[in-house]
Amino acid sequence: MERREFVCKLGSSLAGTAALSVSEAAPPGTERSASEREVQSEHQSGVRTRRAALMKVGTQHGSTNEILRILAAFGVNNICSSLPSMRLDENWSVEGLIRLRERVESFGISLDMVPLPLSSHYITKAEMPHIMLGKSPERDREIDAICQMVRNAARAGIPALKYNMSILGVVRTGPTPGRGGASYSTFAYEKAKQDPALTEAGPVSAEEYWERITYFLKRVIPVAEEYKVRMACHPHDPGMPRNKGFRGVQTVLGSVQGLKRFIEITPSKYHGINFCQGTISEMLQKPGEEIFDVIRYFGSRGKIFNVHFRNIRGRFLSFEETFIDDGDVDMLKAMRVYKEIGYDGMMMPDHVPKIPGDADGYQAFAFTFGYIKALIAAVDLE
């Protein structure tokens, strides 16, 4: 019934529904009050009104002129750019960021977010490794640089930044064959090689990891609050067994409980999550049943600043990343929940399966963009 219903609604939407413009979206932080006003209006009038879907298809695929032309043609009008630079230099200056924003805008695209040089890399490849390595003068210098990037982003008119707090990077085992000969990124904990037994960061207990995260947040979030820049942190990908961890590291942001603790560290509406639905599904035993309430939990608290909208097949410690329509999660139902909570940000395919002959992933991304746009159009009619 879900797929049949989706097709019917998609047909109607393509016949006569225009996409919601950016100007119609609720301002950040007002989603819940807007929803409450709609409910009150319905109650008073006795007539149910259709609530608009505020989500926007987005991407972090890249921000070269070539890619921006393609995105503009696809109707992907909101993006996160590529990393401006690995360090605080001219590209992170106010002028440099303004040039970036204006170049993106020249294609009719809004620059909604920029990544900080805190990527999901293994610790030896991290741009600013000392933030996650612990106490040192270098850690403070790197955090000072991050704070200045936040200030410069605000002055350049960039409303949000995304980042990772990673030591392990993204851990995977060998890929598995997927639909039509595509290659699906896969993780199976029992097959993952823990050799050498420790990373270059040495053993990192849960307590030590939380200290490093908390130290960073206590320094950075007050600056973000002062300059009104939303800070979106990506979960650890994938989650690892509690108390066992992986190569001596406890991935404290690799569970829903850990993410709940994370958002409570500092009470600020500018402190939230880059909600990777795929990664969070990987934390669950029954993602096809459990993910919807997780979306509601963080969304109802205004903590979802960006969504990586991808699907998986499997469960905690054993999964593969599928095409958006080939996994265990009902993505139409998920999109309905984002509408329900009043989420008004980007829905991104953060990455996609590899298709033979599609070296840059343009075909796979094009398929996923279209699917996301169709889902948004469908739930907008409901």
Q: Please write the tens of the pLDDT for every residue from 211-234.
A: 999 999 999 999 999 999 999 999
Q: What residues contact 72, with CB distance under 8 A and at least 6 apart?
A: 107, 108, 109
What is the pLDDT, as a whole number, of residue 48?
59
Q: What tens digit of pLDDT does each residue of 24-33 get? A: 333 334 344 4
Using alpha carbons, list the distances in angstroms from residue 180 to 41, 126, 176, 325, 359.
49, 35, 12, 13, 16
User: Which 8-state DSSP code applies to residue 192?
Assistant: -
Q: Name the percent of the chain lying above pLDDT 70.
A: 87
Query: For position 320, what pLDDT does the model report?
Result: 98
**Is residue 44 over pLDDT 80?**
no
Task: Report whether pLDDT(348) > 60.
Answer: yes
- Tens digits of per-residue pLDDT, 351-376? 999 999 998 899 999 999 999 999 99
Residue 84 CB coordination number (10 Å):
24
d(CA 56, CA 110): 11
Question: How many angstroms separate the CA atoms of 65 and 76, rounded?
Answer: 14
The answer to whether the CB of 162 falls within 8 A of the CB of 243 is no
CA distances from 212 to 123, 218, 294, 327 (A): 14, 10, 25, 35
User: What pLDDT, on a 0 to 100 scale, did the predictor assign at position 50?
Assistant: 76
132/155 Cα distance (integer angstroms): 27
Per residue in 300-334, pLDDT tens?
A: 999 999 999 999 999 999 999 999 999 999 999 99
Q: CA-to-CA distance for 183 and 175, rounded, in angstroms?
A: 6
Which region, left, alpha or beta, applies to residue 244 given φ > 0 means left and ψ of -120 to 50 means alpha?
alpha
Q: What is the mean pLDDT of residues 79-104?
A: 98
Top pLDDT among 34 and 235 is at 235
- DSSP E strand stretches across 269-367: 271-276, 304-308, 312-315, 318-321, 346-348
Confirm if 277 and 270 have CB atoms less than 8 A apart. Answer: no
pLDDT of residue 334: 98
Of the candidates 9, 70, 11, which has an alpha carbon nearest to the alpha carbon of residue 369?
A: 70
β-sheet bridge partners, residue 177: 183
Percent of the chain with pLDDT over 90: 86
Domain ranges of the chain: 58-380
| Confidence (pLDDT) at 228 | 98
Produce one character per residue of 313-335: b if its CB has 16 or more CB atoms within 10 Å, e if not: bbbbbbbbbbbbebbbbbbbebb
Question: How does DSSP assign 90-144, residue by residue?
Answer: GGGSHHHHHHHHHHHHTTT-EEEEEE-S--S--GGG-SSTHHHH-SSHHHHHHHH
Which CATH number is correct for 58-380, 3.90.1150.10, 1.20.140.10, 3.20.20.150, 3.50.50.100?
Answer: 3.20.20.150
Q: How far apart are the first and last CA of the chain?
A: 15
Give the pLDDT score at 45. 53
For position 17, what pLDDT does the model report? 35
pLDDT at 40 over 70: no
User: CB–CB of 236/247 below 8 Å?
Assistant: no
Q: Provide the pLDDT for residue 69.
A: 97
> Under a CB-based contact definition with an 8 Å cutoff, are residues 10 and 373 in contact?
no
Band the pLDDT of 341: cuts 50, 70, 90: very high
Measure the CA–CA gap between 161 and 93, rounded to whole angstroms. Answer: 15
Over residues 128-168, the pLDDT tens digits come to 999 999 999 999 999 999 999 999 999 999 999 999 999 99
